Chain A
Amino acid sequence: MNLILVLPLIVPLATAILTVLAGRWRWAQRWLSALGAAALLAAALALLEFVRREGIQVAYIGNWPAPYGITLAADLFSAIMLVLAGLMGLAVAVYSLASMDPARERFGYYPLLHILLMGVCGAFLTGDIFNLYVWFEVMLVSSFVLVALGGERAQLEGAIKYVTLNLMSSALFLAAVGSLYGVAGTLNMADLAVQLHQVAQPGLVTTLSILFLVAFGIKSAIFPLFFWLPASYHTPPVAVSAIFAGLLTKVGVYALIRVFTLLFVQDVAFTHTLILILAGLTMVTGVLGAVAQNSFRRILSFHIVSQIGYMIMGLGLFTPLALAGSVFYIAHHIIVKTNLFLISGVTQRLGGSDYLKKLGGFYAAYPGLGVLFLIPALSLAGIPPLSGFWAKLTLIVAGLDTGQYAIVAVALGVSLLTLFSMTKIWGEVFWKPAPARAALPASQVGLAGMILPIAVLALLTLSIGLLAEPLLALSTAAAEQLLNPAAYIQTVLGGR
């Protein structure tokens, strides 16, 4: 068995178990968590390098040959997503050391964080559609507890909406998987890709693909299924919000891209055009929702929805360049969005509030933090030479190439509104003089530990922007693999 493929699952599991065992010693838990996250990043980087050199990797669990047993498969897209998951895991684990309160730490915050990471990694690695459902559930159950951990009123209200919509999506996903098995008689994704071309009623497959679109659409928060996201993402502690914002919806996007490049390519004219329309509507509703908000994290939550639109846009256009743009966009977005949430945690700690009205004067007091905010904020809006510019440029060039001028116009307009939202935060939080209020004793304890991951992520955004070529080449190679699934199918089923 291919050990390098299993490591991204074993490392977070082992970390979670060890942090549970170390439950009585808080310092041991904290260090184990940070070390485990670093080990996960290392394992993911090793896997990416291996896949880049040796091609697609497969592991058969229990040595059951495909398509009978459960298969793990990593192509470049999976490996890139794993590296991003490892990176965000490490950033948030370090940030948590400084920002998480002892009560939540005692109630098992660190084990839950690592189980969440295991679920995310499992979803990226699996080559079996039912196994994908199981990993989704692993991820969801730990996220349910993380979102409610602490039991504040807002958290519980947010958790009810989050849990309900995600359970509904799971029920739909399960029904879709069952129906797919009834139609094709297999659950291995590579085998499904082969079998679905020989199904007697192609209309049935298209119907099923829409069921998957709805199920994954709820998870990735596309229009009109996104309402749970802005209702819940701003309620838990910032570290939890940040890892949710960075990774969870992107697992939904990953699943969408995976099934709509590998399985459901029978009726591209219908399905992918529908995805393209949904992408445009997602961008517009997300960004307009953000304009109306007046709290830092709620603005950011609506922007997640808007940005999902860009990622789906690449899938809807369905050309090599467009998919490369999607992969690049996901990589850029995960880093930038997590970073913005982490920064909102610092302003909340120093200013004592999340509401724009109650914040202010940060540029005068902490100019360095202002610069650290500007890098991801302008990158999110797509200002050159930051990473968001290249991501949007790739998508827009792909849109122009295929003659989809409407979606290009929407994408450009939404960028402008994104810039407006970011300047609103900048004006209210950083430039505006600090509002007169009862002097809050701003706690400076552990601030350095919060700034460190922010600075590293900002540096990464900057370097992706200035040196876009390597990541763009990697995304292009990943898109090539996605659009020519023959190699993937051959590698997974090759043993037969």
Chain B
Amino acid sequence: METFLAFVIGGLYAAGLYMMMRRSIVKLIIGLSLLAHAANLLIFTLGRLTRGEPALIPPGGIRPERPIADPLPQALILTAIVIGFGVQAFAVVLIKRAYQTVGTDDLDDMKSTDTG
């Protein structure tokens, strides 16, 4: 399972970076969200993939008896997803406004602040 997820994560990173290197601002945003998903999956995989072992302590005990699935990485991912959701919503509105104001979706035509 780790090997499979490693390929998925690598594929997401590659696809995200490829999209970001295109000139269209829409593809730029898609690339950014792919990068965020890749990072989330990476955290998920690195937090150890343990199946069917809930983090429960038996009655009367003070520590779990068997190795458990760590819930913390999932909490981290949840936080990151929520933040990413907000930021990407903002980014989508931003590119819409930029498209309306500048009149193009080509990043090559948005160089006035670099050269002016």
Q: What does DSSP make chain B's interface, helix, strand, loop or mixed?
A: helix
Which residues of chain A from 123 to 182 have any CB-CB distance to chain B below 8 Å in the complex? 130, 133-134, 137, 140-141, 144-145, 148, 151-154, 156-161, 163-164, 167-168, 170-172, 174-175, 177-179, 181-182
Q: Which of B44-60 contact A (CB under 8 A)?
A: 46-48
Any A CB within 8 A of the CB of B61: no
- Are B42 and A179 touching (Cβ within 8 A)? yes
Contact, CB under 8 Å: B76 / A175: no
| Residues of the B chain whose Cβ atoms lie less than 8 Å from the Cβ of A134 | 79, 83
**Cβ-defined contact, B43 with A178, below 8 A:** yes
Flag if A148 contacts B42 (CB, 8 Å): no
Docked pose: A159 CA to B91 CA in angstroms: 10
Q: A415 near B: Cβ within 8 Å?
A: no
Are A231's CB and B114's CB within 8 A? yes
B20 touches A164 (CB 8 A): yes
Instruction: Please provide the chain B residues from 13 to 40 with a CB less than 8 Å away from any CB of chain A in the complex.
Output: 20, 25, 28, 32, 35-36, 38-40
The closest CB in chain B to the CB of A144 belongs to B90
Which residues of A lie under 8 Å from residue B42 when comparing CB positions?
175, 178-179
Q: With A163-B94, A164-B32, A181-B72 in contact, is A231–B39 under 8 Å at CB?
A: no
A-side contacts of B97, CB under 8 Å: 148, 151, 156
Complex formed: what's the CA distance from A154 to B97 in Å?
12
Contact between A175 and B39, CB atoms less than 8 A apart? yes
A178 and B112 contact, Cβ closer than 8 Å, known pairs A159-B94, A167-B32 = no
> Whole-angstrom distance from the CB of B115 to the nearest CB of chain A?
10
Q: Answer whether residue A234 sits at the interface, using C-beta atoms and an 8 A cutoff.
A: yes
**B113 within 8 A of partner (CB):** yes
CA distance A177 to B83 in the complex (A): 15
Please determine whether A178 and B102 come into contact, CB atoms closer than 8 angstroms. no
CB-contact partner of A178 in B28, B46, B113, under 8 A: B46
Known: A153-B112, A156-B97, A160-B95. Contact between A181 and B90, CB under 8 A?
A: no
Name the residue of chain B whose CB is nearest to the CB of A354.
Answer: B116
State whether the Cβ of A232 lies closer than 8 Å to any Cβ in chain B: yes
Contact code string A198-228 (vs B, CB < 8 Å = 1, else 0): 0000000000000000000000000000000
A241 within 8 A of B: no
- List, in ascending order, chain B residues with CB within 8 A of A153's CB: 101-102, 112
Q: Which of the listed residues B47, B73, B87 has the most CB atoms from chain A within 10 Å of its own CB? A: B87
Chain A residues closer than 8 Å to B101, beta-carbon distance:
151-153, 156
Q: Does A15 contact B (CB under 8 A)?
A: no
Number of interchain pairs (Cβ within 8 Å): 107
Closest residue on chain A to residue B98 by CB atoms: A156
- A326 surroundings in chain B (CB, below 8 A): none
Q: Are B83 and A160 interface neighbours, CB within 8 A?
A: no
A178 and B91 in contact, given A153-B101, A156-B101, A158-B113 (Cβ under 8 angstroms): no
- In the complex, per-residue mask of B92-116: 1 if CB is within 8 Å of any chain A CB, else 0: 0011011001100001001111101
Would you call A181 and B46 a contact (CB within 8 A)? yes
Interface residues on A, range: 35 or more
Given contacts A141-B86, A153-B101, contact A181 B43 (CB under 8 A): yes
A232 near B43: Cβ-Cβ < 8 Å: no
CA distance A365 to B38 in the complex (A): 58
B102, A182: Cβ atoms closer than 8 Å: no
In the bound complex, how far is the Cα of B79 from the Cα of A130, in angstroms?
10
Q: How far is the CB of B70 from chain A (nearest CB, A)?
A: 8
> Which residues of chain B are within 8 angstroms of A175 by Cβ–Cβ distance?
38-39, 42-43
A295 cross-chain contacts in B, Cβ below 8 A: 116
User: Residue among A134, A156, A167, A232 with the most chain B CB within 10 A?
Assistant: A167
The answer to whether the Cβ of A339 comes within 8 Å of any Cβ in the partner chain is: no
A130 touching B76 by the CB < 8 A rule? Answer: yes
Whether A338 is near chain B, meaning CB under 8 Å from some CB there, is no
Q: A172-B39, A175-B38, A178-B73 are in contact. List 8 more A-B contacts (CB 8 A).
A: A156-B94, A156-B97, A168-B20, A171-B32, A171-B39, A178-B46, A181-B76, A182-B43
What is B's interface to A at a CB cutoff of 8 Å?
A: 20, 25, 28, 32, 35-36, 38-40, 42-43, 46-48, 72-73, 76, 79-80, 83, 86-87, 90-91, 94-95, 97-98, 101-102, 107, 110-114, 116
Q: List residues of chain A with CB under 8 Å of any chain B CB.
A: 130, 133-134, 137, 140-141, 144-145, 148, 151-154, 156-161, 163-164, 167-168, 170-172, 174-175, 177-179, 181-182, 187, 230-232, 234-235, 295
Of the A-B pairs whose beta carbons lie under 8 Å apart in the complex, a sample of 30, sorted by A's number, is A130-B76, A145-B90, A151-B97, A153-B101, A154-B116, A159-B94, A159-B98, A160-B107, A160-B110, A163-B90, A163-B91, A163-B94, A164-B28, A167-B35, A167-B36, A167-B87, A171-B32, A171-B35, A171-B36, A171-B38, A171-B39, A174-B40, A175-B39, A178-B43, A178-B76, A181-B43, A181-B76, A182-B47, A231-B113, A295-B116
